[in-house]
Structure 1
């Protein structure tokens, strides 16, 4: 099953499959998505979740502060629904 991901403010959209992270899907679609470590450490790929839900493999990578800020670590996150994310440096 796939879900639609939309990145604001660029308006870019792409499909993410259930077996791939948001970052993997973005790169597969040729989107210039910022990342470095792919381990949830560098925070380059962190987006703010505007709508939808994501899941992570254990252990849960988000701190309580991350959750309060609606941060999504796209290198580790799997889409559980259609998503709207915000990342100011992703361009269309």
Structure 2
């Protein structure tokens, strides 16, 4: 189990193995923005402050262009609806309270 913290409101919750960040937030009654649950609409995107995420069997090269994980791009984002935390994570989303 990993822990996710959402800043700036310091919301913490545990994510079980095989559970996405969004699924864990919902299980913990946290109102988390989302629309598509497919990593397309960007409603659930959080800035990654620390930690690592996996997107399962999705193609990492195509995801790097949209998710800001390209080494030439210092911005890092996490798509919470399809993201499985590999480590404890600290994310930033200003609308999650």
With the length of structure 2 as denominator, give the TM-score of the two structures.
Answer: 0.87
Change (3 A) 1:65 1:81: closer
Q: Gaps (5+ residues) in structure 2?
A: none
* In 1: Cα distance, 2:66 partner to 2:42 partner: 16
* In 1: Cα distance, 2:76 partner to 2:53 partner: 11
Q: Deviations over 1:43-62 (max 9, x none)?
A: 00000110111111222333
RMSD: 1.3
Q: How does 1:55-70 map to 2 (within 5 A)?
A: 55-57=54-56, 58-60=58-60, 61-63=63-65, 66-67=68-69, 68=73, 69-70=75-76
With the length of structure 1 as denominator, give the TM-score of the two structures.
Answer: 0.91
Change (3 A) 1:13 1:24: same
- Tell me which protein shows more strand as a share of its residues: 1
Per-residue deviation at 1:65? 6.3
SS at match of 1:62: helix
Q: Deviations over 1:29-79 (max 9, x none)?
A: 000000010011110000011011111122233316622320100011101
Count of aligned pairs between the two proteins = 90
Following TM superposition, the consecutive aligned residue runs of length 4 or more in structure 1 with deviations greater than 6 angstroms are none
